[in-house]
Amino acid sequence: MSLVARYLERNGIPTVVMGAAKDIVEHVGVPRFLFSDFPLGNSCGKPHEPDTQRFTLDLALKVLESAIGPRTTVQSPLRWNDDGDWKLDYNNLERMPPEEIAKRRAEFDKVKQTALDQRKKAGVA
Amino acid sequence: MGGFDFALPQRQFCAMADTANFAPDFDAPLEYMRRTREYYLALGYDNPYRWAHYIDAPFQPLKKKLSDSTLALISTAAPYQPGKGDQGPGAAYNAGAKFYTVYSGDTAVDHDTRISHIGYDRKHTTAKDSNTWFPLPLMREFANQGRFKLAKRFHGAPTNRSQRVTLETDAPEILARCRQDQVDAALLVPT
């Protein structure tokens, strides 16, 4: 998605990315980025909390309007929860017993095959 | 314009006072690239994904006031596809629900979009409220209030992990569709 932002921007369309994976978006490098420090899937605010969604969109628009140069990142001041413990869960091997890793390995082999078949069918493999 | 609107309840924000009682070190933006590399290595996948990376980034200022600008939504969410397996809420990763060409939708009506084809946080998110990844209804509301003009179509960007296809096919296609709709600016929401 960051690649699309760059492409549009380079071709005359100003962009703002609303995202939650700060390292990835900044590694690619985008013109404007509103970062929400939330679990992936919540770039636009918290579930069933329209006030946080409104706040987040409003902030993204302000970043779009006011950034003075590329690679502008603004971090939303909203917090997902008080302790931030969710950050220790995502794909964290240290919190996974060996049998869980084995199970995921088997699932992943299946997913890889499905994705490959799909890409072949779509002619992009 | 102005700064943050702190009308939201205080519990939504970090503590503001600087004391020597620092936040724990882990409570910083998650290192997804490192976490992902280590995770897939443990799953026996020794050909790590290489994320796109550039030193510079392009920049175009808005050509007119936002209220006079036509804004397009670009999303990685997929349209719900009956017959393509469980797409949630709460579904396991479903590669079968991916899409491989750019699609567009009428912004005047609601759409059932899903993110089961993406590696979102399945432990801490149920994906029950699509407004957290597809802000079209809220954008319509903002446009009705005169904040910007909403482009007549939104666009779906494939996430097929081929950066070459993104660069050479999908991005040009999205640009062409934005130009057809006289779009002045774009809001992109990756998941």
* Predicted pLDDT of residue A95: 86
Q: Which of B29, B33, B183 sits opposite A27 (nearest CB)?
A: B33
Q: B189 — phi, psi (to 5°)?
A: -120, 100
* Predicted pLDDT of residue B43: 84
Number of domains in chain A: 2
Does A99 share its domain with A67? Answer: no
Q: Is the pLDDT of residue B1 over 50?
A: no
Does A77 share its domain with A95? Answer: no
Q: Mind listing the pLDDT tens digit for each residue in B126-164?
A: 899 999 999 999 999 999 999 999 999 999 999 977 899
* Predicted pLDDT of residue B9: 59
Does A48 share its domain with A70? Answer: yes
CB contact under 8 A, B178 and A80: no
Does A61 share its domain with A99? Answer: no
Does a structural domain hold residue A103?
A: yes
The number of CA neighbours under 13 Å toward the Cβ of B191 is 29
Does A12 share its domain with A58? Answer: yes
Does a structural domain hold residue A68?
A: yes
* Predicted pLDDT of residue B7: 64
* Predicted pLDDT of residue B156: 96
Range 21-60 of A in CB contact (< 8 A) with B: 21-25, 27-31, 35, 37, 39-48, 50-55, 57-60
Q: Is the pLDDT of residue B68 over 90?
A: yes
Q: Is the pLDDT of residue B2 over 60?
A: no
* Predicted pLDDT of residue B5: 61
Q: Which residues contact B54 (CB under 8 A, 6 or more apart)?
A: A6, A28, A29
Does A68 share its domain with A96? Answer: no
Q: Mind listing the pLDDT tens digit for each residue in B164-181?
A: 999 999 999 999 999 999
Q: Is the pLDDT of residue B40 over 60?
A: yes
Secondary structure of residue A26 in the 3-state scheme? helix
Does A120 share its domain with A74? Answer: no
Q: Which of B24, B33, B139 sits opposite A23 (nearest CB)?
A: B33
* Predicted pLDDT of residue B42: 86
Q: Which residues of B touch A21 (CB under 8 A)?
A: 30, 32, 190
Q: CA–CA separation, B148 vs B123, rounded Å?
A: 36
B135 or B36, which is more confident: B135
* Predicted pLDDT of residue A20: 97
Whether the CB-CB separation of A17 and B190 falls below 8 Å is answered with yes
Does a structural domain hold residue A123?
A: yes
The Cα of B30 is separated from the nearest Cα of chain A by a number of Å equal to 6
The Cα of B29 is separated from the nearest Cα of chain A by a number of Å equal to 6
Does A18 share its domain with A75? Answer: yes
Does A41 share its domain with A71? Answer: yes
Q: Is the pLDDT of residue B100 over 50?
A: yes
Determine the structural domain holding residue A98 and report its residue range: 91-125
Does a structural domain hold residue A120?
A: yes
Q: CA–CA separation, A13 vs B187, rounded Å?
A: 10
Q: Which of B57, B74, B189 sits opposite A43 (nearest CB)?
A: B189
Q: Which of B57, B123, B187 sits opposite A71 (nearest CB)?
A: B57
Does a structural domain hold residue A86?
A: no
Q: Which residues of A touch B95 (CB under 8 A)?
A: 111, 114-115, 118
The Cα of A33 is separated from the nearest Cα of chain B by a number of Å equal to 9
Does A67 share its domain with A103? Answer: no
pLDDT, averaged per 10 consecutive residues of chain A (125 residues), comes to: 97 98 97 97 96 98 98 97 91 86 86 82 79
Is B25 in CB contact (< 8 Å) with chain A?
Answer: no
Considering only CA atoms, which of A18, A112, A74, A26 is closest in space to residue B30?
A26
Q: Which residues of A touch B100 (CB under 8 A)?
A: 118-119, 122, 124
Q: CA–CA separation, B127 vs B118, rounded Å?
A: 11
Structure tokens at B76: 């990685």
CB contact under 8 A, B188 and A58: no
Does A71 share its domain with A106? Answer: no
The Cα of A98 is separated from the nearest Cα of chain B by a number of Å equal to 10
The Cα of B23 is separated from the nearest Cα of chain A by a number of Å equal to 9
Does a structural domain hold residue A111?
A: yes
Does A59 share its domain with A28? Answer: yes
